[in-house]
Amino acid sequence: MSTSLTEETQVTDAAVSTRLSSLDTLESEAIHIIREVVAEFEKPALLFSGGKDSVVMLHLATKAFWPGKVPFPVLHVDTGHNFPEVIDFRDRTVERLGLKLVVGSVQEFIDRGELAERADGTRNPLQTVPLLDAIQQNKFDAVFGGGRRDEDKARAKERILSLRDEFGQWDPRNQRPELWNLYNGRHTVGQHVRAFPISNWTELDIWRYIERENIELPGLYYAHEREVFARDGMWRAVGEVSQPREGEQVITKTVRYRTVGDMSCTGAVESNAYTVSDVVVEVAASTLTERGATRADDRISEAAMEDRKKDGYF
Amino acid sequence: MTTEAVLPADLETALPTTLFRFATAGSVDDGKSTLVGRLLHDSKAILADQLDAVARTSADRGFGGEKGGIDLALLTDGLRAEREQGITIDVAYRYFATDQRSFILADCPGHVQYTKNTVTGASTADAVVVLIDARKGVLEQTRRHLSVLQLLRVAHVIVAVNKIDLVDFSESVFRDIEADVQQVGRELGLGSDGISDLLVIPVSALDGDNVVERSERTPWYTGPALLEVLETLPAADELESHLESFRFPVQLVIRPQGALAPDAVAAGLDVEAYRDYRAYAGQITEGSVKVGDQVSVLTPGQSPRTTTVVGIDFAGASLEEAAAPQSVAIRLADEFDVARGDTIAAAGTVREASADLYAALCWLSPKPLREGQKVLVKHGTRTVQAMVRSVSGKLDLATFKLEGASNLELNDIGHAQLRLAAPLPLENYLHHRRTGAFLVIDPLDGNTLAAGLVKDHPGDHEDERYSI
């Protein structure tokens, strides 16, 4: 890295290639979108859970505004069932980048009686209310999310800048056409916009980028030993909020997480991928989608994600 | 250019994978969703859990009769209403990769609002695949699709003559359709304008002939399969970055004034050297730029100011040069007042900014356009108020003729003149896919009303091909 502006001769060797790699093209597109949103909105925020997609989003934001600070706060909706090591990673990252962290707490809503625990114990769908509340309380007019179109069929129809009405709802049948690289983020009072700069990235792109950029992730994305039990065809971690039922046997396995969400609905996969390059190889060879492999909440119905998104989910 | 697909000679280049964006367009029932499903399936982009879900639904619906089989169209219809109604409502984006390339596929529905969807998908596409049913040949809707693609200046148009199995793999049927496509191409200037090319491939999406692998059942067709073509065609930016002059709409000014990123400081950034840092952030829309280049800063209402590029920065790296579509931050020798909405361009390559805008408008809203209407125009990184002075006609997409019209309705493409509240550095879309494009926005609800393509002023030397 060149740290002196006076030495203009210190340039990188890389001549301009007329063929940018696909990762460079995706990175350029994402940075363009992040800058557009910062330029056109009053008060953006970035959803940051410590999960790999949001970590990549934050990394892109640091690149977009270098050498300046990332000019917006990060927002986390804490289900109260998060993996402790992910919360620890979140706090360290926020500290390292000098960011403001806003937390919306599912637990507080439950304690106040404004949300009811679901019969299945899953808290992912409960995040919508605290999310919309945090957006309203903080007057965020744009919220960056790490959603990708390859994750789910409903997400495949999502715009890069996606309008939400006063109730936070998504109307998939009435979306603005998105043309060229001209993004229309106009909205009226009460509405806000969700921005998805990494819409066009796949899970493999994310991992190749993490490898290339040497981005730190919470350790549970890599193979480790953990006490687990089998439920719904997934390995579930034993934890405070995730206890085996009668007949579910606890065993120790070498596992990793492909997605990191609520402990109550996120499953681990058996894996020997100890490093990022192991993970790239594993993801490239995987025969299951990341949500299909690890998310109980997306197995409820073919339109589970669509229904959640219509109500204002990420 | 010939209409039978021919591959470039030097396609063996072992470089990192590149990105290629393409769209599919077709009429009702020509098997477009099946083709997309086939491409995804045969390129192994469909994983076991997705395939299981599709197989279950196919069986529930009795797809394929007693033989079984899976309805590949189910892979692409993402919304509940689409699955329930068995139709595709909105553009869906799909992703798959081969060793050579990563693909972004915009799957554009054909029957409802085809203009809106085709324009949307084609605006970012390096190539568009248009489907024709081999039993039906070139239909009016094919002419409409090709017309829109020519207007949007899509670099590569590929016509897939589908269901070739249903005409017994007949060469004569294919050749007749190919000749018809060629004829339409000639009428439009598609494939012969030096900008676009037009390829025709016989395929069976249902059985996979000439989709991923060349088929033995069409021995008379010696060209490549569809996927081979998509893997080797140059992306639009590759074609253009050397031909076009540098254009860089400024998104924002990076001026930390001491508020440097703590992680960069921790990594050894010289705080003193960056105290007065000032750079202009943006994405290069056209051409390329080198350190030392003379550039003009275009600010609406001011004469262009010329200066020199002294630095091209990207997240701590100093680049010697950069090209479209890279996002960078540019430093200039002179401390001009440069702000969002200004454009930095290669010196001496830009016409005077103009407040009179002549354009083709693809009308995308159910609210019709009327003369005298006030709208917003978003061009590059600037949004200005505008008034619609006149509508001079509406394009008949089937005959490619301009008809008289005084308003435009959903899915119409017409010509209009607008008066802008501030001059913009407008350029003819024919030669400038990015700086010649703009959005028309409704000031009341903020919705996008139209996709705009800048035309030359009447009286300026206008390209004949663009006068449709």
Of A171-180, A298-307, B398-407, the one with minimum mean pLDDT is A298-307
- What is the rounded average pLDDT for all residues in chain B? 86
Q: Do B16 and A156 touch (CB under 8 A)?
A: no
Q: What is the mean pLDDT of residues B321-330?
A: 96
B325:A20 CB<8 A: yes
Residue B404: CB atoms within 10 A of its CB come to 8
Distance CA(B180)–CA(B184), nearest Å, equals 6
Interface contact A4-B270, CB threshold 8 A: yes
User: Which tens digit of pLDDT belongs to each residue from A9-21?
Assistant: 333 333 344 578 9
Substitution target from A6, A23, A180, A307 for chain B, most B beta carbons within 10 A: A180
Overall average pLDDT of the B17-45 stretch: 84
Q: What is the DSSP string of B131-161?
A: EEETTT-S-HHHHHHHHHHHHTT-SEEEEEE
Nearest to A60, CA basis, from A15, A29, A105:
A29
Q: Is-contact A110 A130, C-beta < 8 A?
A: no
The SS3 of residue B424 is strand
Mean pLDDT across A102-106: 92
Q: Which residues of B touch A68 (CB under 8 A)?
A: 254-256, 259-261
Q: How far apart are CA B449 and CA A172, in angstroms?
A: 18
| Residue B66 pLDDT | 47
The pLDDT value given to residue A12: 34
Contact B396, B383 (CB under 8 A): no
Tens of pLDDT, residue by residue over B80-130, are 666 565 556 678 888 988 888 999 999 887 665 678 888 999 999 999 999
Select the highest-mean-pLDDT range: A60-64, A117-121, A128-132, A146-150.
A60-64
pLDDT at A306 over 60: yes
Contacts of residue A11, Cβ cutoff 8 Å, sequence gap at least 6: A2, B291, B318, B319, B320
The answer to whether the CB of B329 falls within 8 A of the CB of B254 is yes
pTM of the prediction? 0.90
What average pLDDT score do residues A179-196 get? 94
Are the beta carbons of A35 and B81 separated by less than 8 Å? no
The number of angstroms, rounded, from the C-alpha of B411 to the middle of its chain's C-alpha atoms is 17
pLDDT tens string B170-182: 999 999 999 999 9
CB-CB under 8 Å, B277 with A177: no
B15 touches chain A (CB under 8 A): yes
Q: Which of B95, B246, B379 to mutate to test the interface with A (most CBs of A within 10 A)?
A: B95
Cβ of residue A65 closer than 8 Å to a chain B Cβ: yes
Element (H, E) at A301: none
For residue A124, report the phi and psi dihedrals to the nearest 5 degrees.
Answer: -55, -50
Amino acid occupying residue A129: V
Say if the Cβ atoms of B241 and A18 lie within 8 Å. yes
Contact status of B11 with chain A (Cβ, < 8 Å)? no
The token duo for B100 is: 């050579």
Q: Any idea which residue has 């690890």 for tokens?
A: A294
Q: Is B101 helix (H, G, I), strand (E, B) or coil?
A: strand
In the numeric block, the tokens 């209409």 are attached to: B3
Q: SS3 of A49, please?
A: coil
Touching check for B77 and chain A: CB below 8 Å? yes
User: Which of these, B422, B255, B441, lies nearest to B355 by C-alpha position?
Assistant: B422
Q: Is the peptide bond before B325 cis (omega within 30 degrees of 0)?
A: yes
Pick from A6, A19, A150, A290 the residue to mutate for testing the B interface (most B CBs within 10 Å): A19
Strand partners, B298: B343
Which stretch of A9-13, A205-209, B32-36 has the lowest confidence by average pLDDT?
Answer: A9-13
| ipTM given for this complex | 0.90
3-state secondary structure (DSSP) of residue B338: coil
Is A36:A60 a contact under the CB 8 Å cutoff? no
Of the candidates A267, A307, A286, A258, the one whose C-alpha atom is nearest the C-alpha of residue B50 is: A286
B90·A175 Cβ contact <8 A: yes
Rounded-to-integer distance, Cα B69 and Cα A249, Å? 39
Flag if B261 and A287 touch (Cβ within 8 Å). Answer: no
| Segment 254-293 of chain A within 8 Å of chain B by CB | 286-289, 292-293
Answer whether B151 touches A (CB < 8 Å).
Answer: no
More confident of the two residues B364 and B15: B364
Here the tokens at position A140 are 């965020």
Task: Report the Cα–Cα distance between both ends of chain B, in Å, rounded.
Answer: 21
If you average pLDDT over residues A130-156, what whole number do you get?
Answer: 91
Q: What is the pLDDT of residue A254?
A: 95
CA distance A112 to chain B (A): 34
Contact B264 A205 (CB under 8 A): no
Cβ under 8 Å to B: A residues 94-113: 96-98
pLDDT at B166: 96
A-B C-beta contacts closer than 8 Å: 256
Tell me which chain B residues have a C-beta less than 8 angstroms from the C-beta of A38: 252
CA triple A141-B437-B343, angle to 5 deg? 75
Contact B49 A64 (CB under 8 A): no
- CA B311 – CA B438 distance, rounded (Å): 29
Q: How many residues does chain B have?
A: 468
Q: How many residues does chain A have?
A: 314
How far apart CA B70 and CA B58 sit, in angstroms, is: 5
Model confidence at B9, in pLDDT bands (50, 70, 90)? very low
Q: What is the mean pLDDT of residues A179-200?
A: 94
Mean pLDDT score, B356-364: 95
Cβ partners under 8 Å of residue B318, min gap 6: A2, A8, A10, A11, A12, B311, B312
DSSP state of A268: B
Closest CA in chain B for residue A306: B79
What would the mean pLDDT of A92-103 be, rounded to a whole number?
Answer: 96
Q: Is A180 helix (H, G, I), strand (E, B) or coil?
A: coil
